[in-house]
């Protein structure tokens, strides 16, 4: 092999090496661009998830805020009714003064009677019912479980002589959310309230059943 042939071989080797390097750079650039596209897609997905999460959280807390405001209104009326009852006023007069249904005043009389009579006979339900509790700060969830059905309720600590409030399905939502007939709503909520008092308040307390709430009292 003469010097010229050797030089041609070296030149060809350099060209091949450069071509290979260019090819490697092209593949690397394609991989980099693909990685950038995946990163951008992930960032966009995260932004979308965060935005949706904020909307969901906002809707949740807005709904809870409305429920708690309604509870506060009902609790104020209940306290006024109770003070008038303790002062010996007639239920009919109280209902007229405060513009509340007469049966609401009667329900408060029942609460006062239960609180004064001590622990009475427990409500019996079919299906071996039981409650489970999940706590998270000043609130959490209560799970009702039986051989027939299972459903979840939220709860939060209350103020004054009310220990806690439990959100329950109203009459219109009851059957859909609990899979129990409407005529069993009252006894089911009574069982839940009595069980909560036994489990969480050493059996000492009373309760009131409302349209959207169970209220547990000390």
Query: Is residue 27 situated within a structural domain?
Result: no
Specify the pLDDT at position 111.
67
Question: Which residues, including other chains, have CB under 8 Å from residue 141's CB and lie 6 or more apart?
Answer: 133, 134, 152, 153, 154, 155
Q: What is the mean pLDDT of residues 103-125?
A: 68
Question: What is this structure's pTM?
Answer: 0.55
Query: Is residue 147 situated within a structural domain?
Result: yes
Query: Is residue 68 situated within a structural domain?
Result: no
- Domain range for 190 is 119-218
Query: Is residue 196 situated within a structural domain?
Result: yes
State how far the Cα of 210 lies from the Cα of 3, in Å rounded to an integer: 104
Q: What is the mean pLDDT of residues 89-108?
A: 80
Query: Is residue 154 situated within a structural domain?
Result: yes
Which token pair is 59? 């809707």
CA angle, 47 then 52 then 54, to 5°: 95
State how far the Cα of 163 lies from the Cα of 216, in Å rounded to an integer: 5
The dihedral built from the CA positions of residue 107, 108, 112 and 114, taken in this order, carries a sign that is: positive
State how far the Cα of 150 lies from the Cα of 192, in Å rounded to an integer: 13
Query: Is residue 161 situated within a structural domain?
Result: yes
Categorize the per-residue pLDDT at 162 as very low, low, confident or very high, splitting at 50, 70 and 90. confident
For 41, 48, 59, 64, 182, the CA distances from 52, given in Å and listed in that order, are 16, 6, 10, 18, 35
Query: Is residue 216 situated within a structural domain?
Result: yes
Provide the mean pLDDT of the chain.
Answer: 77
Does residue 180 have a pLDDT over 70? yes
Specify the pLDDT at position 201.
87
Q: How many domains does the chain have?
A: 1
State how far the Cα of 6 lies from the Cα of 17, in Å rounded to an integer: 17
Query: Is residue 172 situated within a structural domain?
Result: yes
Percentage of the residues of the chain whose pLDDT score is greater than 70: 62
In 29-149, which ranges are E strands? 130-136, 139-145
């Amino acid at each position: 092999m003469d010097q010229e042939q050797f030089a041609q071989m070296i030149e060809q080797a350099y060209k091949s090496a450069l071509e290979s390097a260019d090819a490697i750079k092209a593949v690397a650039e394609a991989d980099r661009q693909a990685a950038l596209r995946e990163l951008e897609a992930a960032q966009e997905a995260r932004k979308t998830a965060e935005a949706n999460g904020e909307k969901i959280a906002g809707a949740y807390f807005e709904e809870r805020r409305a429920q708690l405001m309604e509870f506060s209104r009902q609790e104020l009326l209940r306290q006024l009714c109770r003070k008038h009852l303790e002062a010996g006023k007639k239920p009919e007069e109280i209902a007229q003064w405060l513009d509340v249904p007469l049966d609401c005043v009667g329900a408060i009389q029942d609460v006062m009677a239960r609180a004064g009579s001590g622990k009475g006979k427990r409500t019996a339900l079919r299906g071996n019912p039981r409650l489970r509790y999940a706590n998270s700060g000043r609130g959490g969830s209560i799970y009702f479980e039986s051989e027939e059905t299972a459903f979840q309720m939220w709860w939060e600590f209350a103020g004054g002589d009310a220990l806690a409030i439990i959100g329950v399905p109203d009459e219109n939502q009851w059957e859909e959310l609990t899979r129990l007939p409407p005529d069993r709503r009252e006894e089911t909520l009574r069982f839940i309230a009595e069980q909560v008092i036994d489990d969480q308040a050493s059996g000492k307390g009373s309760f009131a059943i409302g349209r959207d709430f169970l209220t547990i009292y000390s």
